Chain A
């Protein structure tokens, strides 16, 4: 019989491959889908359903329904009906245990009366402890594939940006015609086709005759096959993917020619393996070369049923009957060897794990089913040839809505730059589809500015023909309320039955959007491609409203499943930033940490020893990641005066000052030091993570206030180190050509000079609380400066220290870190910086909200604390609690080797902020005491800093 079976349009007969399925080797052909090869090898149950674990087999063979999802080479939820077989692929089932053919969890199909729609909103909530247990169980037994968290993709995903005049989505006859016409008139055209060949339904529908449907329309048209468009976004941006590549396509004009899909019907056990969409059977045979069965029944409500029966016969499949729901259907196709049953529908499918036959029954004039005399027809294949619906999800995403007018779907309006042709636009007459596509091609060419002499002629002739757009019938899903029947499946993805929908509507979820959210119909992998029309029809039937009044659920990208790795393509280009001394740190055995995009040494092995060196001798840290900003011009002081909380106009040339700034809501955003190099020249530092943002912030206010000032980022132009410790002056003396004595170079002064022959800017500041110098030099000399300092420091026991040691040192000194000790609700009045806020300035950013906060008084305070148990260090982020309620948090906690105590910073309510107050925080379920301590913990008078 199979002699008449074609080879399969997508299959390469010359290239056999072997795949492995559940440990067995399965022969396949290159180009053939995995599912087709498995079907040929006798596999009928491809997956188990989401909720009831019912057996499911191939259905759409177009990558739209959830019935063929499997685990392929570790990737879950692969649509095997369209995934080409490749040598060595490892394929296994998902959502079944122990096997697809015998799934123990199939018991849920029998328990369905206890699992009605929305059962998880109703059951197992009392007592409360039951819910987490139950949720854990449900998550294991329901659902799709397992994500293998240890699996690493071998292929990197990548992103490609394409720009074109016209992009045609869909390489079927309409798409090719539209592309050709537009190209002939001069447009630059990109044509996207999801299959490996152009041709669309021509490739499998034998009622179309064309010599070679796969020939590209013109070599100048750029054709991308195996490319699926999943989203239409504003600005005519198309999201598409091919293999592991994400495509972002900008097109001046878009024509959508995505065709149509047949609608399924509702009857008892309508999800049984062996029940296919009519197109699915044709695709399996003519694209992949595999027959779907031996003896078929066709169920239809339109003229396509008889055509389909003939095609099946041509494929060598016996046709047992055509069941036509229409009353006016011809009883018998003249000359056809199969019987036709007009006014009949299928009421139930027979069989346990595969179709064995169907029961059909008559519908009377009132469309009531006559259950008295059902007939049984033996078959192993049931082909559903329901009325075609536009595959219009991309158009819906773009904002078009389809209205049913005189039984026909019609787009409600025209969106500039977006066109639709063929079945996707609701045109089902084959001749008209080509004409419409040609018109769209001509329209887009004209819109792009090309001369189209026959445009008016095309428009006129289309207007004349458009009155009848072809096949249309009622949405013949046979919606009816049968409270006893719980096995009429609307949604294959999430196991939603017709009864579920009626029940949800009875419970009040009678709007299509609430119905969707409550029942999860339309929410599965198919995104409504199988169930969308049925859900609307049932909603209309149950509520007595017309289809247009019910509307449809919102269509959002992605229209087809896209791997997250593909969507994330392009997000991996996070540049890595290294300081000029990076390679020295690496060689010295630095333990790295990430600071924004930078790599910074967390330590060189032992932070405690590093702290000791800085406190007792001299230490050196690379601070090149600091934001470094030059601000110069006549209004430089004015800009800083208005942006910072404190004053700058009174800062003398050659002096340095600490400053902090707020946003317009009075929230702390950054702090740092600023040096006045000249009357109109300042040099600022910003925290590492904020370097870029602060430059933008200064630029913003410069532009807003129209100030005459230049903001110049020097962050990467300069390297910087902090030389800190009681012996740092002594050490620097021999290396610098300037006078570093306490009188010539006091605390909070800035000097320019040469260190080891390198011209440097030196700032005497003390973040770590010791005598110290921050030395800035051109990046190119950073390593030379570092080397020279290390060499000169040898007699003084100089040790490089990392960020961790710096954090301990600064915490001992009580210095806060913006972002660590503050968050998006922290204001300077509560953070201990109230002395910095100069309300006597007439204007600075955040003044108004800070004035209000000042009037209200502080509610919380950032305070220093010591642990009552000085041996233990609490985790940062622990909650401060008062009578069991969270009232604050610990922001920084460390063991201080200098003080031999466990110290930290914390936000506590103002009532508990007085020094000596004992407060509690939650740690491992217990309330642990700590005591508010005066800040700073170390060197309170600041003698060491200023020495």
Chain B
């Protein structure tokens, strides 16, 4: 893992500045959070630990580490 994430505050930064916060999951009917665990695009949370200390949402292709969208978590969807 040595890709960049574009922080809405701080600009493009090494991924090591961030803490991974897991996949953004939608609760199923029974309230279970099912992790999709599929290759391809995934919506995730990242925390800019060594930067602005804000939570971000990120759309990342977990096969290629291509990142197509980042933003503040509270502004997500």
Contacts and interface: CB of A to CB of B under 8 A. Distances in A.
A103 interface: no
A234 B53 CA distance: 25
B31 A848 contact: yes
A847 B47 CA distance: 24
A706 B1 CA distance: 30
B74 A664 contact: no
Contacts of B62: none
Contact of B53 (A235, A664, A699, A704): A699
Given A234-B3, A234-B65, A235-B2, A700 B32 contact: no
B47 A696 contact: yes
Interface centre among A234, A237, A696, A703 (most CB of B within 10 A): A703
Interface string A847-858: 110010000000
B30 to A, nearest CB: 7
Given A696-B19, A703-B73, A704-B73, A235 B4 contact: yes
B8 interface: no
A702 B32 CA distance: 21
A706 B74 contact: yes
A700 B54 CA distance: 8
Contacts of A699: 47, 53-55
A938 interface: no
Contact of A700 (B3, B30, B73): B73
Nearest to A693: B19
A233 interface: yes
Contacts, number: 40
Given A703-B72, A704-B73, A237 B32 contact: no
A189 to B, nearest CB: 21
Given A234-B2, A235-B3, A696-B19, A703 B30 contact: no
Interface string A680-716: 0000000000000000100110111010000000000
A167 to B, nearest CB: 14
B21 interface: yes
Contacts of B65: 234-235
A576 to B, nearest CB: 18
B1 to A, nearest CB: 8
Nearest to A161: B14
Interface residues of A, number: 15
Contacts of A235: 2-4, 65
B2 A237 contact: yes
A504 to B, nearest CB: 32
Contact of B30 (A664, A696, A706, A848): A848
Nearest to B32: A848
Given A848-B30, A848-B31, A848-B32, A703 B55 contact: yes
Interface string B42-59: 000101010001110000
Contacts of A234: 1-3, 65
Interface in A841-882: 847-848, 851
Q: Chain A at the B interface: mostly helix, strand, loop or mixed? A: helix
Given A706-B74, A848-B27, A700 B47 contact: yes
Contacts of B1: 234
Contacts of B21: 700
A847 B27 CA distance: 12
B2 A664 contact: no
A702 B72 CA distance: 12
A397 to B, nearest CB: 12
- Classify chain B: how many residues form its interface, as a range: 20 to 34
A642 to B, nearest CB: 14
B2 A233 contact: yes
A700 B55 contact: yes
Nearest to A848: B31
Contacts of A664: 33
Nearest to B22: A664
Contacts of A706: 74
B74 A703 contact: yes
Contacts of A702: 74
Nearest to A701: B55
A706 B73 CA distance: 9
A555 to B, nearest CB: 17
Contacts of A851: 31
Given A234-B65, A664-B33, A706-B74, A700 B45 contact: yes
Contacts of B33: 664
Nearest to A706: B74
A291 to B, nearest CB: 45
Contacts of B3: 234-235
A700 B21 CA distance: 9
Nearest to A705: B74
Contacts of B74: 702-704, 706
Contacts of B53: 699
B67 to A, nearest CB: 11
Contacts of A847: 31
A702 B53 CA distance: 13
A627 B74 CA distance: 25
A696 B47 CA distance: 8
Interface in B1-22: 1-4, 19, 21
Contacts of A696: 19, 47, 49, 55
B32 to A, nearest CB: 7
Contacts of B55: 696, 699-700, 703-704
Contacts of B30: 848
Nearest to B3: A235
Interface in A407-449: none
A233 B1 CA distance: 8
A847 B30 CA distance: 12
A848 B34 CA distance: 13
A714 to B, nearest CB: 15
**Candidate in B33, B49, B65, B73 with the most chain A CB atoms within 10 angstroms:** B73
Nearest to B64: A234
Nearest to A696: B47
Contacts of B2: 233-235, 237
A241 B4 CA distance: 22
B5 to A, nearest CB: 11
A664 B45 CA distance: 14
A65 to B, nearest CB: 30
A843 B47 CA distance: 24
A703 B65 CA distance: 24
Nearest to B72: A703
Nearest to A692: B49
B8 to A, nearest CB: 13
Contacts of B31: 847-848, 851
Contacts of B49: 696
A627 to B, nearest CB: 15
Nearest to A707: B74
Contacts of A700: 21, 45, 47, 55, 73
A25 B47 CA distance: 58
Nearest to A663: B22
A237 B72 CA distance: 27
Contacts of B32: 848
A663 to B, nearest CB: 10
Contacts of A703: 54-55, 72-74
A716 to B, nearest CB: 14
A574 to B, nearest CB: 14
Contacts of B47: 696, 699-700
Interface string A205-242: 00000000000000000000000000001110100000
Contacts of A233: 2
16 contacts: A234-B3, A235-B2, A235-B3, A664-B33, A696-B47, A699-B47, A699-B54, A699-B55, A702-B74, A703-B54, A703-B55, A703-B72, A703-B74, A704-B55, A848-B32, A851-B31
Given A234-B3, A664-B33, A704-B74, 7 more contacts: A235-B4, A699-B53, A699-B55, A700-B45, A703-B55, A703-B73, A848-B27
List the 6 closest pairs (A to B, CB-CB), nearest first: A848-B31, A703-B73, A237-B2, A703-B74, A233-B2, A703-B55
Interface of B: 1-4, 19, 21, 27, 30-33, 45, 47, 49, 53-55, 65, 72-74
